[in-house]
Amino acid sequence: MKLSVIVPVYNVERFLPRCLDSLLRQGMEAGEWEVICVNDGSPDNSAAILAEYEKKYPDVFKVITQENQGLGGARNTGTALAQGEWIAYLDSDDYIIDGAYRYLLDHFCGPIETESLRGKQLDVLCYAYYNVYTDGISLADPDAKPDGEVTFEGDGGDAYNHWPLHYVWSKFYRRAFLEEHHIESEIVICQDQLFNFDVFRQHPPTRIVSSKVVRYENGNATSIQKITQKETVLVQLNDLYYNMGVIRRYLEGDKADMTPAAWRTMTIFVTAFTNKLGHVSLCYSEWKKYIRLIRPSDILLLNSKKDTSVLGAFISWLKMCSLRYYVSYLMNHWLYKYVFDGNLRKLIVSEV
């Protein structure tokens, strides 16, 4: 079997049919691939939708149901059951353009040709994506083509030091590579960054291609990134602090050969931490408790973000101040609640 696609499912009944329909248009034959859908205790109608597709297309879809373990736990469950040579992850509110997986397998999954790695097996294939804002039903670009070309071929550690290849759902991973290095998703927020840091620190033979085949949905109000319930956000703040600790331990180790990537990843976690603070209302004692988790050196990382726009510079300044002064935190919270989330979210989404 060539490919296993892992689709975690939680509270996505509005988007799920579009995702599954896009998978049916990949040009793959029965026996060549499998789609493992992991229903992670979804409270909505997702289970019924999955059952319908599994019954209609039993040669393609395999449905696993489990108690809620979060995105990372659902991915781990699917990965443990996968039989394909390659593993791809696709979030259930996103979709992939027609024929993309077939095209990627046929054109870009051959042996590495770079002189220094000649003859080695490819372990990671990275492809690209577009951000979309839709109603969850209509396809933004049904005539899109998966065409692309190779833009990098070589040591994955070197690539990760130069480019932010963070997202799990924009890659093929050789299953034997993940098993050999015991790589799994963490059960925390921002697990993509930790997962891929663990992948690329192994220096896998890697190929990057320009094919923009995934459509990443930004219109899902139930996405984990947009949750604003205080109890959930506080758990996420603890998760992000844990993530920072993982990267710090790497930087303090003896083999920190991926220092540029580690600091970039740390910046992502600090930025996410400040974003989450802006989404909840904390009293002074609560704010002080969480601010104490952030080191002064972490705050300085926010100054290193390269954004020349007035809006980007203002947001970076506000985040930095919010980690120092309570009044700035209150302003940050007000702006996120009444301005950023309602009107400016689309303007600050990045495609890196």
**For every residue of 190-244, which 3-state class applies, written as one string?**
CHHHHHHHHHHCCCCEEEEEEEEEEEEECCCCCCHHHCCCHHHHHHHHHHHHHHH
Q: Which of 148, 143, 10, 30 is nearest to 78 (CA)?
A: 10
Beta-sheet strands, E only, within the chain: 3-9, 33-40, 61-66, 86-89, 95-96, 124-132, 150-155, 171-174, 205-217
pLDDT at residue number 334: 86
Is the domain spanning 3-217 CATH 3.40.50.300? The answer is no
Is 35 strand, coil or helix?
A: strand
- Measured CA distances, 203 to 122, 197, 207, 255 (Å): 11, 10, 12, 13
Q: Is the pLDDT reported for residue 350 higher than 60?
A: no
pLDDT at residue number 306: 62
pLDDT at residue number 309: 73
Please enumerate in sequence order all residues whose Cβ is within 8 A of that of 231, keeping only pairs 6 or more positions apart, or say none: none
Q: Is the pLDDT reported for residue 252 higher than 50?
A: yes
pLDDT at residue number 79: 97
pLDDT at residue number 318: 82
Sign of torsion, CA 128 133 134 135?
positive
pLDDT at residue number 308: 64
Of 42 and 224, the structure prediction assigns the larger pLDDT to 42
Q: Is the pLDDT reported for residue 67 higher than 50?
A: yes
pLDDT at residue number 101: 97
Return the percentage of the chain with pLDDT > 70, whole number.
Answer: 91
Res. 225 pLDDT band, cuts 50 70 90: low
Q: Is the pLDDT reported for residue 11 higher than 50?
A: yes
Domain segments of the chain as ranges = 3-217, 227-348
pLDDT at residue number 51: 97
Give dist(CA 187, CA 28) in Å, integer: 31
Is 44 strand, coil or helix?
A: coil
- Measured CA distances, 159 to 97, 166, 182, 208, 260 (Å): 26, 11, 21, 9, 11
